[in-house]
Amino acid sequence: MVTTPTSAVHSTAPDEVTTLTASWRRSLAARRASPRTITTYITAVEQLDAFLAAAGMPTRVSAVRREHVEAWITDLLARRAPTTAHNRFRGCQAFFNWAVEEGEIRESPMVRMKPPRLPEAPPPVLREAELRAILAGCERDKTWLGRRDEAILRVFMDTGARRAEVLGLRLEDVDLDRGVLSVTGKGNRTRLVAIGDTTIRALDRYVRLRARKPGAEVPWLWLGRKGQLGETGVAGLIRARGAAAGLAVHAHLFRHSYAHSVLSAGMQESDLMAVAGWRSREMLARYAASTRQERALKSARALSPLDRLTEMKR
């Protein structure tokens, strides 16, 4: 195992990984990548660069080879979770693909590499009783924050939207008459998501209260104590409302739960991809894996051959 030093010495070559990382950051920003995506990608490349320098391997992009990246991934897997290694792999893969596009290298050293396999254990989902318990705490809280938190939680539960998508909502993105929200996801792609009647009611109540709060003139939908509600604020309120119901909850858990709920209710996987903002079936497969067997058994019971034969005799 290689220990990464706190600082590494690099040459001043223009195709150093560390030099091109700065250009890639600017390119990502120009492509309107989300701040979270930029941070994740840049972190991956910076960690690769530090590993290469510490191990005495090439740090010029043109000299990096597949075996160098594989050594780093192997080191990561020895120290970190497979999901972390998988995310770092994707970040570096995107970096080298960009370097090819920019003409810095002819071929990515990762072109024929496959990402680390993720464990088969599917992510958990929240059941209806658990969702009701979380909302019940907000419903009992008649304060401004109680109304706001209920509206936010209902949007997460009712749409399966990502945290950044919910936080990025503006007042103009909310159409309560049509029951739709316009969210902006990865790659600056905008899509519509539907909300049900109870979420419409909660949002309507929140918007009316919001209009009386200091700072209501800002375009952002969600207000905190000092202006726009940020990532730390929403993560904190979700954690607190979950803890009050005896649950450990984070925003992404609502996305998994939403996927299970709508698939169980009969939504087609292609429709779920559209409303969830997925362009790859890989993500759909991961989200749907949580309760695939449960849905299959439910479907099998409903289509029991012997039950259908009995019905035909009647």
pLDDT in tens, 26-66: 999 998 887 888 999 999 999 999 999 999 999 999 999 99
- For 214-218, 254-258, 275-279, which range has the lowest pLDDT when averaged over its residues? 275-279
Q: 76 Cβ partners below 8 Å, 6+ apart?
A: 84, 85, 88
pLDDT exceeds cutoff 60 at 215: yes
Mean pLDDT of 238-257: 93
Q: Which residues of 247-273 are buried (b: 16+ CB within 10 A; e: fewer)?
A: eebebebbbbbbbbbbbeeeeebeebb
pLDDT at site 38: 92
- For 38-42, 72-76, 228-232, 265-269, which range has the lowest pLDDT when averaged over its residues? 265-269
CA–CA distance, 85 with 80 (Å, rounded to integer) = 7
CB-based contact 80:68 (threshold 8 Å) = no
Q: Kindly indicate the confidence band of residue 204, based on its pLDDT and cuts at 50, 70 and 90.
A: very high
128-252: in CATH 3.90.105.10? no
pLDDT exceeds cutoff 90 at 155: yes
Mean pLDDT of 145-160: 95
Residue 16 β-bridge partners: 60
CA–CA distance, 24 with 102 (Å, rounded to integer) = 10
CB-based contact 138:238 (threshold 8 Å) = no
Spans of all domains in the chain: 17-101, 128-252
Instruction: Return the CATH number of the domain spanning residue range 17-101.
Output: 1.10.150
pTM over 0.75: no
Q: Kindly indicate the confidence band of residue 287, based on its pLDDT and cuts at 50, 70 and 90.
A: low
pLDDT exceeds cutoff 50 at 199: yes
